Amino acid sequence: MERILNSETPKHIGEKVRIAGWMTVRRDHGGIVFFDLRDRSGIIQVVSSSELAKDINNECVLEIKGEIKKRPDRMVNPELETGNVELKAEEIKIVSKAEVLPFDLVDMKMTLPSLLDWRPLTLRNKKIQAIFKVQEEIISSFRRTLSDLGFTEFQAPTLVPGATEGGSEVFHVDYFKYNAYLAQSPQFYKQILIGVFERVFTITRVYRAEPSVTTRHICEFVSLDAEMGFINSWEDLMDVCETILKNMVADLQKNRSKELAMYGNPDIQIGQKIPRLRISEIQEIIFKTKGRDNRGEMDLTPEDEKDICLWAKENHGSEAVFATHFPGRKRPFYTFPDPENPLETLSFDLLYKGLEVVTGGQRINEYKMLEDNIKKWGNKPKDFEFYLQAFKYGMPPEGGFAWGSERITKQILGLENIREATLFPRDMERIDQRLSILQPKKAKKPKK
């Protein structure tokens, strides 16, 4: 007998079927046992005799044969897709035994560190699973939108030869007789590929040796990176970001409504058009509405980011805001200066519900100007020779952006900590288990 999925059971009322999955929530009532069986499609209630269900505890893997029965109307569970049926077990085979669980997997009350210590198990919780079905859809949606716009997907390398882009927050790798580093972004590669495919994107791992513990930073994350040539203006880049976000929201509502419902159907308001506000304008608005005078500061504070999103929600029906024209000193060397004000750049962040989820901008595409900027930033053009090839031999006006997949997941679902939106988060204290438990600390390296 072929196994059927739990979600298919309502189509088999009155038939004998075989189902398989994990036991969850066992309830004994006299000689009868009720339990839920979880498989990849959902949950179904199983009714069994005590005899058939003996020695079976939660998370045991079972194969069950029996008949699908319609539940009496008063017993229908409207919260379950299979709520109008149950399976009357005739044969139960224990496929894999489970030890007694160290905590309740359905009604979990745990601190975040414990949740992560027990990640292989806690991921089985339906509400936690849902986070990663939502994330899968976010990434698929990003891919679909860009493919439809003629972007080519490429695979970015993650081992790089120099710690060139961002300075100190980079991981070092022992690479044979040489030094290598983990990429902080696929920036150089996506720019090089403008000369090849005009429009490219990559879904790739990036690494930041963040020496602090916050709710928004992790050391390895999945970046959704795109770059676009022959732009008419840097506003094209924000237009594409807007399309991506709108499609993401629509795709989630269409394909992940069940998962969104578990998070209280978060209200995802973007409005007709996402407001585009200069840093200086945002600071002015914050000053006027909140009295906080950050005017003239180089960057927005986390508080500013939260408040401007609330302001935009109230005034523009959008919880997303483009913050634009970051000062040159806050952006990497390849950022295009604003021709109207060379101290500012044609760059933007997309803030969503108070957090930066995208960063982007137009790039310098002119070889000489790029070389000059490399020097101005205190670097040697020689170290960028490979990258610079692309600009020596014809590069159109171009720009791009990077989405943090964990951040956007966190913001859409209203999670408190980015670690919740990361399957296996890496931070300064943890890779899977806590490193302090797993490894002795390294001896300090002798100073050279």
- Per CB under 8 A, which of residues 181..240 are in contact with a second copy? 182, 189, 192-193, 195-199, 203-205, 207, 209, 211, 219-220, 222, 230
Stretch that binds a second copy, among 306-314, 340-348, 349-357, 381-389 (CB under 8 A): 381-389
Q: Does 96 bind a second copy (CB under 8 A)?
A: yes
Residue choice 139, 240, 270, 364 for contact with a second copy (CB under 8 A): 139
Length of the chain: 448
Packing angle of the helix pair 126-148, 405-413 (nearest 10 deg): 120
Count the residues of the shown chain that bind a second copy, applying the rule CB under 8 A.
95
Residue choice 184, 283, 373, 405 for contact with a second copy (CB under 8 A): 405
Tell me how far, at minimum, the Cβ of 328 lies from a second copy, in Å. Answer: 22
Q: Does 29 bind a second copy (CB under 8 A)?
A: no
β-pairing, 178-182 with 159-160? Answer: antiparallel
Tell me how far, at minimum, the Cβ of 250 lies from a second copy, in Å. Answer: 19
Tell me how far, at minimum, the Cβ of 120 lies from a second copy, in Å. Answer: 4
Tell me how far, at minimum, the Cβ of 222 lies from a second copy, in Å. Answer: 5
Q: Taking a C-beta distance cutoff of 8 angstroms, is the pair 228, 400 a contact?
A: yes
Q: Does 179 bind a second copy (CB under 8 A)?
A: yes
Torsion 13-16-17-23 (CA) sign: positive
Task: Report which of 349, 351, 357 is spatially closest to residue 326, judged by C-alpha positions.
Answer: 349
Q: Does 154 bind a second copy (CB under 8 A)?
A: yes
Residue choice 75, 76, 104, 150 for contact with a second copy (CB under 8 A): 150
Under DSSP, is residue 224 helix (H, G, I), strand (E, B) or coil? strand
Q: Does 95 bind a second copy (CB under 8 A)?
A: yes
Long-range contacts of 183-186 (CB under 8 A, 24+ apart): 183/156, 183/157, 183/158, 183/159, 183/207, 184/208, 185/223, 185/225, 185/402, 186/156, 186/157, 186/223, 186/225
Quickly tell me which residue has 């990849």 as its tokens: 40
Tell me how far, at minimum, the Cβ of 198 lies from a second copy, in Å. Answer: 4
Nearer to a second copy, 70 or 368 (CB): 368
Residue choice 214, 366, 376, 377 for contact with a second copy (CB under 8 A): 366
Q: Does 180 bind a second copy (CB under 8 A)?
A: yes
Q: Does 176 bind a second copy (CB under 8 A)?
A: yes
88-112 as b/e, with b when 16 or more CB fall inside 10 Å?
ebeebeeeeeeeeeeeebeeeeeee
Nearer to a second copy, 111 or 272 (CB): 111
